[in-house]
Amino acid sequence: MRRTHEPLTYAVVAVLVGIGVVMVFSSSAILAEEQLGDQFFYLKKQVLFVLLGVLAVLVARRVPASALRKLAYPLAIFNLILLIAIFVPGVGKRAGGALRWLRVGPFSFQPSELAKLSIIVLLAASLARKEDRVREFKIGFLPHIIMVAPFILLTLAQPDLGTALFLVLTAGFMMYFGGVRLAHLASAVLLAVPCVAFEVMKDPNRMKRLLAFADPFKDPSGYGYQIIHSWYGFASGGLYGRGLAAGTQKLFFLPEIHTDFIMSLVAEELGFVFGVVPVILLFLVLMYIGLSTAMNGPDRFTRLLAAGITASLTLQALINLGVASGALPTKGLPLPFVSYGGSSLLVSMTMVGVLAGVMRTRKGGP
C-alpha cells in the first residue's frame, strides 16, 4: 500500500480554514455590529460554511472516480440550469449591480463557483475519452471549446468578467495538460484578447479598475481607493504585524476586506513573516500535493481531475494575492479557504474531497 498525501492535505486545508475563520471575525466584527447589531453574524455563518464544507469533503472523498466520471455531463447540465435560473425574475438575487446569486432559504449560492468544478470534471472525462486523438483540432480542441463556452457566456452575462476569465484559464490549463496542441490553444488566446478588450472597454467600471491598476494615485478617493488602502494594510503590518484584531483598514476604510481583500488584513495584523509567508507556503504545499497526485494517478481521468483541481485552487490563490498586492487589476475572486463566503468555501472543500478520493484510489481505498 503506497503512502499518500491525504493527511497532509487535510492538515494544510485545516490551517488555511482556521486562519480564515479568525480573520473573517477580525475583519467583520465591527462592520457586523454597526450594520446588523451582531458582531458575530459573519463569524457564525462562516463556521456553518466550514461545517458544511467538512461534510462535503467526507462525502466527496468516498465517491469513486468511475462514478464521478459518469456524473460529468449530468453535473454540467445541472450547473448550466442553475446559471440560467439566475436570470429568471424572482429566482436570481442582484447585489452590487450584478446578478450572480440564487437564493436558497436564508442563504445565497453562486452557480459560477460550482462551474469551476463542473468544467474540471467535464473536461477530464472528455479529454480522457479522446486520449488517442486529442491533438486533432476537430477532436481535441474544438469540442472542448464548445463545451466550456456556455459556462463562460452565462458568467459574462451576470456580469462577472473576473470569474469568466478564471474559467477560461482553468479550461486552458486542463486542455494543455490533457495534450491539446499548444498551437491550437495559442490561436484561442489570440482570438480571446480582442474579446476581453471589448468587454473591458464597454463597461466604465471595468475601465476604472484597469486605470486604478495602472495609476491608483491619479484618483485616490475614487477608482484608486481600494488598492491604495490595501497597500496601506500591507505597509502598516510590516514584517511582524500590528497584532491580531489591531488592524485599522477594517474600520470602514477598505471595502470587501472580509472577502476579496482579506490578505490585506492578514498582512496588517499578522505581518509578512507570520501572515503572508505562511499562507503562501501553505498554498505551495497544496500545489505540490496536487501535482504529485496528478502525476501518479491510476488513470488518465484521475490525473486530469487532480491537475484541474490543483490549477483551480492555486491559480485562484495567486490571482487573489496579486489583486490584494496591486500586482493584478481587481478581479473579485476570493482567496480559497480563507475569504468569507459559502459558495467558494463549499466548492473548494468539495475539490479537496475529490482530490483525496483520487489519493484513496491510488492506495486501493474504497
The model's pLDDT over 328-350, given as tens digits with 9 standing for 90+, comes to 887 778 999 999 988 999 999 99
- C-alpha cell, 364: 486501493
H helix and E strand count, the chain: 14, 3
For the segment 223-227, the average pLDDT, to the nearest whole number, is 83
Report the domain count for the chain. 1
Residue 354 has pLDDT above 90, yes or no: yes
Torsion of CA 308, 309, 310, 314, to 10 degrees: 110
Residue 230 within any structural domain of the chain: yes
Is residue 22 a part of any domain in this protein? Answer: yes
Q: pLDDT for 76-102, tens place per residue?
A: 999 999 999 998 887 878 776 677 888
pLDDT value at 220 more than 70? yes
Q: Which of 200-214, 242-256, 310-324 has the highest mean pLDDT?
A: 310-324
Q: Which residue has better confidence, 240 or 198?
A: 240
Per-residue confidence at 280, pLDDT binned at 50, 70, 90?
Answer: very high
Q: What is the pLDDT of residue 3?
A: 59
Residue 317 maps to a domain = yes
Report residue 95: phi and psi, to 5°: -150, 135
Task: Summarize pLDDT for 34-74 with one digit per residue, the tens.
Answer: 888 889 999 999 999 999 999 999 999 999 988 999 999 99
Ranges 139-153, 189-203, 229-243, 286-300: which has the least confidence = 189-203
**Banded model confidence at residue 112, pLDDT cuts 50, 70, 90:** very high
Cell numbers 488517442 correspond to 132
Q: Is the pLDDT score of 200 beyond 90?
A: no
d(CA 261, CA 268): 11
Give the integer Cα–Cα distance in Å for 123 and 174. Answer: 7
Q: Does residue 2 carry a pLDDT above 60?
A: no
Please report, for residues 7, 18, 53, 316, 341, the alpha-carbon distance to residue 47 in angstroms, rounded to integers and kept in the order given: 22, 10, 10, 22, 10
Packing angle, helices 111-129 and 161-177, rounded to 10: 20
- Structural domain that includes position 71: 6-362
The CA distances from residue 117 to 133, 186, 306, 308, 350, in Å, are 24, 24, 11, 9, 9
pLDDT of 364 over the 70 cut: no
Residue 366: pLDDT band by 50, 70, 90 thresholds? very low
Whole-number pLDDT of residue 96: 63
In this structure, is residue 49 part of a structural domain?
yes
- 1 in a domain, yes or no? no
- Amino acid, res. 163: T
What are the residues whose beta carbons fall under 8 Å from the beta carbon of 65, sequence distance 6 or more? 298, 299, 301, 302, 305, 357, 358, 361
- For residue 358, is it within any domain? yes
pTM score above 0.85: yes
Residue 257 is assigned to a structural domain of this protein = yes
HSE toward the beta carbon, residue 92, CA cutoff 13 A: 21
DSSP-derived secondary structure for 1-68: ----SHHHHHHHHHHHHHHHHHHHHHHHHHHHHHHHS-TTHHHHHHHHHHHHHHHHHHHHTTS-HHHH
Q: Examine the pLDDT at 104 and tell me if it is beyond 90.
A: no
The predicted structure's pLDDT at residue 1 = 38
Q: Do the Cβ atoms of 140 and 131 come closer than 8 Å?
A: no
Please list, residue by residue across 54-92, b when 16 or more beta carbons sit within 10 angstroms of its beta carbon and e when fewer do.
bebbeebbeeebeebbebbeebbeebbebbeebeeeeeb
Give a yes or no: residue 244 inside a domain: yes
C-alpha cell of 127?
479529454
d(CA 294, CA 359): 9
CA–CA–CA angle 266, 168, 212 (5° rounding)? 50
Q: Reduce the DSSP state of residue 276 to 3 states and report it.
A: helix
Q: What is the pLDDT of residue 97?
A: 65
Structure confidence at residue 57 (pLDDT): 96
